[in-house]
Amino acid sequence: MIKEYINSKDNKKYYEVKNEYLGKNVYTGKEKRISKKGFRTKREAQNYIVKAKNEFLNGSVFLQNENITFGDVYKLWEEQHKTQIKESSDYISKSIIKNRILPTFENLKVSKIKLPYCQNYINELSENYTKKYIQLIKGIIVQILDYAVKMEIIPTNYMKLTRIPKQTVTKEKKFYTRKELLQFLKIVKENYSSDIYIIFHLLAYTGMRVGELRALTWKDIDFKNKTLTINKNMMNVGSKSIISDTKTKTSERIIFLDDTTVKELKEFRKNSNSFNITGRLVNSSKKYYVNYILETILTKFPELGKITPHGFRHTHATLLFEGGSTPKDVQNRLGHKDITTTLNTYTHITEEKNKETTKIFEKIMNL
């Protein structure tokens, strides 16, 4: 605020800058304001304010915060962040922060975290991790540094300006063909218990996520209408497993079951009483149970080819596409939030279908 006043000593008119706001001290929460008298003209007072604000934006007024580290900002951000997300998601974020972010950033002064350092960090990550995982790490750092900007500790979040390098990686097998899947299920059925077989049959025949399978109870199965209801998820949080909401609202869905799966479920319920106490279909209390069982199977039968538990979801979707299902049908079946996710995930399949469509049109025109 600029005020006009009369100096009692010389009885002349002067201007003063009074209580002009510049910023906030992150630790005390007190506002930083400036006041100064003695300007001969109003323009001089205005220029003083402009200069002070420019210095603020350029970082010179951040000198009071020059010793604040990334670790300090993280602690402040965490207090706000943990009240806004689910326990399971908070655990995942903390794990990434502890193992991937703090070892590099914790003791760095946030005022020194510039673009070259951030880009070099992203470049190094790209040599060891997938683009999706790097995006997750980068997103968390961006949130923390955005908080530093919001609290007026730094003027710019340079992590936002980084680019993830294009990666050249050897593609691992993500799904089974129909023949490979049938071979896998045959081997499991002949060599393992029904408790183990039903896990992989359901993953392959429904396309559900592993967490959704672990949370599944007999109440979710409607044998009369041949449906399976997905309305919850099981996550590992530290040493315990917890039941949470599904990944997204659209993940809640009803899956129609084929006759083979209905028959397998009825047989399983009839012959297996192992987990009826909890009402769950699989031994979901053991952390990484599904991963461990699959690794054991593939080690014993290496001819099956390596695949992850999530690979059965990819297998399900791939076979649906090959059978003529539309992307919208697959989206609904898998519980994807939007169809873009479905299309991006299964680009290799949709491209082949597009080629087939082109051939069909060509054939029609040449009749």
pLDDT digits (tens, 9 = 90+) for 38-71: 888 988 888 888 777 766 655 544 445 567 889 9
pLDDT digits (tens, 9 = 90+) for 71-102: 988 988 887 776 555 555 566 678 788 888 99
- Dihedral, 103, 108, 112, 115 alpha carbons, nearest 10: 10
CB 188 within 8 A of CB 196: yes
pLDDT digits (tens, 9 = 90+) for 122-172: 998 887 788 888 999 999 999 999 988 988 888 999 999 999 998 654 455
pLDDT at position 12 over 50: yes
Inter-residue long-range contacts of 285-291, CB under 8 Å, 24+ positions, other chains counted: 285/241, 287/236, 287/239, 287/241, 288/236, 289/214, 290/199, 290/210, 290/213, 290/214
- Cα separation of 67 and 108, whole Å? 9
pLDDT digits (tens, 9 = 90+) for 210-228: 889 988 888 999 999 999 9
Radius of gyration, alpha carbons of the chain = 30
- Cα separation of 77 and 113, whole Å? 17
- Cα separation of 142 and 160, whole Å? 6
Q: Where are the domains of the chain?
A: 2-64, 70-161, 182-306
Average pLDDT, the chain: 81
State pTM to two decimals: 0.56
- Cα separation of 194 and 90, whole Å? 35
Q: State in words which class domain 70-161 has.
A: mainly alpha
- Cα separation of 254 and 109, whole Å? 50
Q: pLDDT over 70 for what percent of the chain?
A: 78
- Cα separation of 141 and 101, whole Å? 8
